[in-house]
């Protein structure tokens, strides 16, 4: 076709046309696939963007929209058009860095404790971004004694490394304290991150840190936390041993020496034997490892609290979970949104574990029922599952000698049939403090079989079940939990009808006022536990000049009048080693399973 402009008419004229090279018209059924016809409606765009915020993939969204339209042929566009529309929506607001800061500002309106800090370069471009919300800061105050951090990659469209500071909670689950996106992994960058962490956490310094062997991280930890114990990941060290030495036999023996629970003198002797066996005295990697033995050898880390951390495998597991929520297509704003969804998921798992730990006590399995029942009530289900084998293994311990000193009792013990392995447990009865030469209590925060063996001693056991001790408190806690559960059920039913709500409210407030007045009048709580340590302090006439009345007999166990220790119902519970839940009278016999931590791969 030849087209020319004609000045006289002011219009374009076709002077030549040839239809020899024309293609046939497209079949009507395919016309909807032509670019000019493919277009998403505003309703579909809104629905798609909302589902993207919930973490639904684009392919799944396309399938859902096709189902709503009655089939893929009736959608009117394809997946590529959806990707283009998503990119167009994200380009509508210029400045990804400005948008993510605006997003964090909006989050802070809902969570005033949220802290975030951005670092820009000389050109004003965003380099590093650190953030930690209010719940993460509370978690750090509770569980921030040990932290681990590592970097992962390809979690956003800029391929910026993602650094996550994590720890472990009372259910042995991994929790997130803070996160950061950085442009590089230099020492200065990690120093900036660690200082931001300290500022967000009100300068609470951790006692221990575990990381991989990256030199930039190690240098930063030395600068910011010179007094904090720094442990290197055992898994990374074993991998480095394989790559630097190239001897599987050496790597296997190196692992045993690294993880072996030896005294320092024994470790040094075994190290010399290992190096001489393989002739690695002059190998640089081996020399460097020995110089840094205090950062990886169990012999030097014994007694230092690391909450069971030996590797950064928790970090690796956490990165895997985060990868389900964020991806390489996400810009900064989308990344923060989806990352917080991941954090919310981890917190829901903790909430669920809290609920499971309130549902009951696992079935007792050992002959040390008193200690086992107390541990089941004191620990969460997951920690109790970790502790119970130590109760069983305590039976294999044999006490060789007991020495009574002025301030403590020393128990020297060994395993039956293994007198060459001995441990000493110091027990200070006044402070109820146990210290064992194995130092595992200090390392893990849980008493091992040596201390449990001492607890089985008659004197220690009698101290634990003293009438002023834990047994009565456990009954009150059990009753309180039962009443709370009943109250929840009552509230769920009563709140649906206004009349029932008002009746229930008045009834509860009336009972509360009545019980409170009775307690204040007699100073005797209905639980049977006296408020005052002096059972006669509030009797009429004492210290007031008024005539006194005859003192009634009181029980030495519960401080109630009308009976004595031999007939006290509390003492009967103690003697039978049974804690009865009188509040709900449940006899359904439910056995509650022990939850496991999905992210824990150290065990």
Q: What is the pLDDT of residue 107?
A: 92
Burial of residue 527, with CB atoms counted within 10 A of its CB: 0-12 exposed, 13-18 middle, 19 or more buried:
middle
pLDDT band at 155 (very low <50, low <70, confident <90, very high): low
Is 433's pLDDT higher than 70? Answer: yes
Least confident of 34-48, 59-73, 166-180: 34-48
φ, ψ at 551 (rounded to 5°): -75, 130
Residue with tokens 């590529």: 80
pLDDT band at 485 (very low <50, low <70, confident <90, very high): low
Q: What is the pLDDT of residue 199?
A: 94
> What residue spans define the domains of the chain?
2-91, 94-232+311-327, 234-305, 369-464
Provide mean pLDDT across the span 109-129.
86
More confident residue, 548 or 531: 548
pLDDT band at 215 (very low <50, low <70, confident <90, very high): confident
* CATH class in words for 94-232+311-327: alpha beta
Q: Which pair of tokens denotes residue 371?
A: 């200690």
pLDDT band at 521 (very low <50, low <70, confident <90, very high): low
Provide mean pLDDT across the span 24-30.
69
pLDDT band at 220 (very low <50, low <70, confident <90, very high): very high
Q: How many Å apart are CA 382 and CA 591, to the nearest integer?
A: 15
Cα radius of gyration rounded to whole Å, the chain: 34
Is 546's pLDDT higher than 70? Answer: no
- Helix spans in 70-132 (H): 79-91, 96-110
Q: How far is CA 557 from CA 370, 371, 381, 535, 578, in A?
A: 18, 20, 30, 12, 16
């Amino acid at each position: 076709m030849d087209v020319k402009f004609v000045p006289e008419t002011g219009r374009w004229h076709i002077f030549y046309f040839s239809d020899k090279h024309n293609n046939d018209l497209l079949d009507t059924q395919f016309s909807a696939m032509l670019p000019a016809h493919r277009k998403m409606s505003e309703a579909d765009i809104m629905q798609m963007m909302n589902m993207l915020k919930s973490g639904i993939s684009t392919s799944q969204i396309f399938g859902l929209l096709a189902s709503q339209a009655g089939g893929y042929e009736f959608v009117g566009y394809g997946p590529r058009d959806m990707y283009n529309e998503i990119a167009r929506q994200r380009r509508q607001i210029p400045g990804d860095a400005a948008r993510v800061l605006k997003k964090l500002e909006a989050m802070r309106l809902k969570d005033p404790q949220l802290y975030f800090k951005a670092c820009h370069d000389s050109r004003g471009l965003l380099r590093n971004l650190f953030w930690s919300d209010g719940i993460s800061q509370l978690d750090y105050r509770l569980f921030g004694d040990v932290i681990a951090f590592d970097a992962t990659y390809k979690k956003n469209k800029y391929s910026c490394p993602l650094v996550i500071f994590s720890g472990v909670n009372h259910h042995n689950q991994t929790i997130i304290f803070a996160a950061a996106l950085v442009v590089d992994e230099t020492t200065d960058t990690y120093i900036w991150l660690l200082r931001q962490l300290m500022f967000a956490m009100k300068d609470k310094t951790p006692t221990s840190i575990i990381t991989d062997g990256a030199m930039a991280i190690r240098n930063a930890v030395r600068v910011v936390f010179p007094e904090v114990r720094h442990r290197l990941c055992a898994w990374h060290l074993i991998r480095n041993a394989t790559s630097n030495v190239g001897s599987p036999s050496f790597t296997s023996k190196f692992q045993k020496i690294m993880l072996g629970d030896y005294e320092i003198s024994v470790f040094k002797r075994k190290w010399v034997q290992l190096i001489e066996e393989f002739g690695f005295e002059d190998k640089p990697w081996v020399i460097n490892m020995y110089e840094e033995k205090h950062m990886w050898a169990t012999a030097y880390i014994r007694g230092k609290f690391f909450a069971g951390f030996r590797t950064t495998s928790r970090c690796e597991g956490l990165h895997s979970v985060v990868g389900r929520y964020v991806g390489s297509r996400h810009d900064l704003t989308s990344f923060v949104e989806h990352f917080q969804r991941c954090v919310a998921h981890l917190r829901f798992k903790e909430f669920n574990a809290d609920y499971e730990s309130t549902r009951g006590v696992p079935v007792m399995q050992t002959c040390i029922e008193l200690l086992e029942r107390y541990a089941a009530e004191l620990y969460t289900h997951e920690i109790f599952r970790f502790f119970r084998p130590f109760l069983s293994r305590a039976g294999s311990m044999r006490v060789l000698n007991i020495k009574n000193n002025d301030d403590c009792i020393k128990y020297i013990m060994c395993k039956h049939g293994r007198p060459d392995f001995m441990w000493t447990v110091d027990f200070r009865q006044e402070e109820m403090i146990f210290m064992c030469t194995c130092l595992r209590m200090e390392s893990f925060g849980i008493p091992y079989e040596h201390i449990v063996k001492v607890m089985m001693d008659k004197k220690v056991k009698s101290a634990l079940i003293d009438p002023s001790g834990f047994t009565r408190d456990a009954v009150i806690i059990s009753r309180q939990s039962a009443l709370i559960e009943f109250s929840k059920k009552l509230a769920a039913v009563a709140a649906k009808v206004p009349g029932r709500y008002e009746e229930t409210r008045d009834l509860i407030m009336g009972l509360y006022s009545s019980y409170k007045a009775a307690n204040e009048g007699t100073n005797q709580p209905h639980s049977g536990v006296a408020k005052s340590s002096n059972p006669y302090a509030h009797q009429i006439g004492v210290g007031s000049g008024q005539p006194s009345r005859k003192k009634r007999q009181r029980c030495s166990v519960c401080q109630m009048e009308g009976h004595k220790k031999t007939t006290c119902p509390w003492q009967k519970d103690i003697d039978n080693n049974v804690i009865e839940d009188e509040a709900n009278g449940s006899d359904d016999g439910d056995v509650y399973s022990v939850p496991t931590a999905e992210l824990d791969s150290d065990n």
